[in-house]
Amino acid sequence: MSKTLEPMMKELERESATTRRVLERIPESKLAWKPHAKSMSLGQLALHIAAVPGAIANLAKNDVFDLSQANFNQPAAANKAEIFAAFDVSVKNAVEYLAGVSESSASGNWCAKFKEKELFTVTRAELLRSIMLNHWYHHRGQLSVYLRMLDVDVPSIYGPSADENPFV
């Protein structure tokens, strides 16, 4: 495993536990609920969160990704079992990928294109930090807002929430 990615592996493992706690709060009866017509449904958002680590690890295996080949139509989960099955596979795949990345691969370039147009090039480590982790946290935060709007107790994420205080 790349020394550069060792802290990221520890972070992925720690944050996976936090993400699981947030996903556990999802009311299965509300998977079709949307806070706004332009928003993803709760089931779509949850399945996206479940899939992000493994999907980005899979993208990182290649040096170039053509976004014109991507399907951005997010499917919705039919139930919580589907969410957790996807989450478990996704995290497992991300951990396995990170464990096998060499230092030269971590520091190597990864490029996003749209057909022939280069959109951006970053190191593989930057891709993993930005899209696999930061993007994941962004959507987990979005999910916590959905939970609040549904009057579901929001778990502690990095400290106390209005519903849960890990310090007392």
Dump pLDDT digits (tens) for 142-166. 999 999 999 999 999 999 999 999 9
Q: Are strands 109-114 and 64-66 parallel, antiparallel or unpaired?
A: parallel
The domains found in the chain, sorted by start residue, are 6-149 (1.20.120.450)
Beta carbons within 8 Å of 144's beta carbon, 6+ residues apart: 22, 154, 157, 161
Q: What is the pLDDT of residue 68?
A: 95
Dump pLDDT digits (tens) for 17-62. 999 999 999 999 999 999 999 999 999 999 999 999 999 999 999 9
Q: Are strands 109-114 and 117-123 parallel, antiparallel or unpaired?
A: antiparallel
Dump pLDDT digits (tens) for 84-138. 999 999 999 999 999 999 999 999 999 999 999 999 999 999 999 999 999 999 9
Q: Which residue has the tokens 């589907």?
A: 82
Q: What is the pLDDT of residue 25?
A: 98
